[in-house]
Amino acid sequence: MTQTAVALGLLVIMTSLLLIEGSPFLVHQRQKGRFQRDRRNIRPNIVLILTDDQDIELGSMQVMNKTRRIMEQGGVHFINAFVTTPMCCPSRSSILTGKYVHNHNTYTNNENCSSLSWQAHHEPKTFAAYLNSTGYRTAFFGKYLNEYNGSYVPPGWKEWVGLIKNSRFYNYSLCRNGVREKHGHDYAKDYLTDLITNDSISYFKMSKKIFPHRPVLLVLSHAAPHGPEDSAPQFAHLFPNASQHITPSYNYAPNPDKHWIMRYTGPMKPIHMEFTNMLQRKRLQTLMSVDESVEKMYDMLLDIGELENTYIIYTADHGYHIGQFGLVKGKSMPYEFDIRVPFYIRGPNIEAGSINPHIVLNIDLAPTILDIAGVDIPVDMDGKSILKLLETEVPVNRFHFHKRAKVWRDSFLVERGKLLHKRDGGTKEDKAQEENFLPKYQRVKDLCQRAEFQTPCEQTGQYWQCVEDATGKLRLHKCKGMANLEISGKKGLTGVKSKYFSKNSNDCSCEDNEYKINHFGRKKKLYSKKKYKASYARNRSTRNVAIELNGELFNVELEDGYQPVYSKNITKRHTRAQDDLEEEEEEEEDKDTAEYSGTGSLSLTNELTAPTSIKVTHRCFILANDTVQCDTVLYKSLQAWKDHKLHIDHEIETLQSKIKNLREVRGHLKKKRPEECDCNKMSFYSKQKGKLKHKGMNLHPFKKFRLEKDSWFFRDQRRRKKLRKILKRIKNNDTCSMPGLTCFTHDNQHWTTAPFWTLGPFCACTSANNNTYWCLRTINETHNFLFCEFATGFLEYFDLNTDPYQLMNIVNTLDRDVLNQLHVQLMELRSCKGHKQCNPRTRNVELGSRDGGSYEQFRGQLWEGWEG
């Protein structure tokens, strides 16, 4: 009975399994589940859409309805997105590498932009190179770098359609996979925005058709709305009354509280204001083609079923200003309109329609793309992946009551760093306006942190030393004086030697020995030699004086303590005579030194100036009145005269022979000169900064920038460049350019597409050569400010909680301690490397504190909470 029941049960189970196996619905569900599991294993596609010079403060996104619907309503909008350098090539280099400008060294649109150095050191380390090596199908379409010449395809890109040189919409050249391709002025075939959009869509579809399981990285880099602002013909009639650019800072000029170019720039003329209105209109028109491009890309991804597995990022390389603070147009300023950019991202597991207030930067794009692709982020990237900010918050369980909240940066560096050149001294009025420099003691304190000023003055080639006086103040002193103080045993000043630096044993051996002596030691040694020096007539002490009275010579013995008052008419003859004395024989020198080594005193009135004499031979002297006086016997005895003359001739021959031998030895030493070991370069090792080399220079550190490029070669090169510019201006009848300013001219022929400019030519200046700065931008729960230090030494501070348009520079209202605190944090960011140093979380920043004291008390509070 039991066996029968068991058999029936087995039969029922087998029948059920056969029915399930044959069910078409269940088979479909099983295959769908397997497909979904395989789909999850496929890495996501990444599409980066980049625009050129697109602002967000002047309302450019308000007209891009399609982009906002797709990106803002379908993804997350980062409302605090910034760039670290508001210039095209530096910002794009930061986007590609994930590094600050001071780490990839592309400072301007010309300096190191797509240079050989960039190609050798940084281009092989872009996010494209990393993704290409992990199986991604990488493609680039559009504007690359301003100075890209199309002679090569950058590493890491399988498909390359790069614009050669700067932005254009017509009459441009492309590098298509290494082949130069010229385009004309036909909208249907040549309009850049449409062309790269169509090419990128075709490549994506083709790649997915041939390699369905290979993810795609696609960068679509538009030239819009960069000049020459040529729009597609179907949009040339739009926005006739565009006025989004008229903000509270529009035509707010002059600005005597801001840096030099702002003080120089006055209110705009009527023609300038008309130009800004036209410029805003044409910029918005070019963005209409970008708006359509985003929609085309979205529709393509939706049609081929790749939308749910694709991250789309939309941003710009920097912002723009049109009339703000009287500047007709441009970028490169540290203010909100130039550093804020649009930033949207949509993709898998991203909450649609969300707004994120965290600070994101252009240097975050490269690590974010690597993180999306599942690639390890290099430690030398300064930015951080923003994926952690996009994760949906999961409720913590009962075992995670004390789960630490996410920590993110609230401060970052804005830098525009041209290398400093010589500058001419300004007028007294200009210098009087520079009222908010860092105080001298603060600059000295910063310099004293550098290794080259912390070593004792015994180091060969060192000219400046940082010392601390009796009151505790740090000062910079010349090493010549410091050596004198140290040897004499004075303890009023003590050297400040850093505990972080020590001499590198691998460098040249520059230890002190009998051939290596400092300045004081050398002087002491030379005086110890028994020779007369050129300045001996002034410096030696006198024992007796030869005086000629009534034709007779008298030797007057001097008493102890006498110091003669020499007349100022000691002629070159004395110098020549003393130089000749240096070559006397050692025996004669010893005798002479013994005779003139004492001190004496003579009771003379103030009206009497005792003359001195120089002993040339044992019988002849040169008096102070440039006359030669010998013993009387030489004038009376012919034999004595002949003997002494023969003695002098013999001395001359001996010295001539010695000079000849010395010249032969000198020539020999020149031929046998060993390899140079420059002991002026002292090497030090620091735990914080690694290995540094500094060369001491006989110039005050505050003026070191004056030595840059000071060789004749660079001076001649600059002179030739300046001459070429002058000749070019004369040839083109250019009266707009001004020394030290960045100016532009505009005329009726500038825009070749409608709407046209018809009001004639004009000139405007937009920036200056000294517009180099480093700024600290902070946004957190309590503070929202911008603090800037310019290369000229000028300081700016804006509280954006009360002054969102940066109309008033209130740096003079800050306490000195707070100013020092901001300076310390800015200096740290200026030299940061890697995401651990470059992403601080500032805490306890008490602006307006009046507790006093040194800024050192804030250092721990400033950097508490760093996260890597």
**Active-site positions?**
88
Burial of residue 80, with CB atoms counted within 10 A of its CB: 0-12 exposed, 13-18 middle, 19 or more buried: middle
DSSP 764: E
Q: Where are the beta strands (DSSP E) in 97-234?
A: 137-143, 159-163, 173-176, 179-182, 216-221
User: How many residues are listed for the chain in this entry?
Assistant: 868
Of the candidates 83, 53, 55, 57, which has an alpha carbon nearest to the alpha carbon of residue 249? 57
Q: Report the distance separating Cα 838 and Cα 384, nearest Å.
A: 9
What does the DSSP assignment read for 507-531?
S-----BTTB--HHHHHHHHHHSSS
Q: Three-state DSSP class for 784? A: strand
CA 396 vs CA 98, 391, 393, 620, 862: distances in Å? 33, 14, 9, 106, 30
Cis status of the peptide bond prior to 254, with omega within 30 of 0: yes
Q: Which two tokens stand for residue 672?
A: 């046998």
Q: What angle do CA 42, 45, 47 make, to 5 degrees?
A: 175
Q: Where are the beta strands (DSSP E) in 362-510?
A: 411-416, 464-468, 474-478, 494-495
Helix spans in 177-308 (H):
187-190, 192-210, 260-264, 270-303
CA 747 vs CA 384, 611, 750, 759: distances in Å? 45, 81, 6, 8
Number of other residues whose CB lies within 10 A of the CB of residue 133 = 12
Number of other residues whose CB lies within 10 A of the CB of residue 623 = 17
Element (H, E) at 776: strand 773-779
Element (H, E) at 488: helix 479-488
Pairing between β-strand 159-163 and β-strand 411-416 as defined by DSSP bridges: unpaired
Q: Three-state DSSP class for 312? A: strand
Q: How far is CA 407 from the centre of its chain?
A: 28
Helix spans in 606-706 (H):
632-636, 638-671
Of the candidates 488, 473, 394, 404, which has an alpha carbon nearest to the alpha carbon of residue 439? 473
Q: Report the distance separating Cα 357 and Cα 338, nearest Å.
A: 19
Cis status of the peptide bond prior to 256, with omega within 30 of 0: no
Q: Report the distance separating Cα 412 and Cα 82, nearest Å.
A: 9
Q: Three-state DSSP class for 460? A: coil
CA 579 vs CA 532, 535, 574, 611, 709: distances in Å? 8, 10, 9, 20, 39
Q: Report the distance separating Cα 466 and Cα 477, nearest Å.
A: 7
Q: How far is CA 126 from the centre of its chain?
A: 20
Q: CB–CB of 493/485 below 8 Å? A: yes
- Which residues have a Cβ under 8 Å from the Cβ of 845 and sit 6 or more positions away? 778, 782, 783, 821, 861, 862
Q: Which two tokens stand for residue 423?
A: 């500058």
Of the candidates 54, 68, 46, 114, which has an alpha carbon nearest to the alpha carbon of residue 366? 46
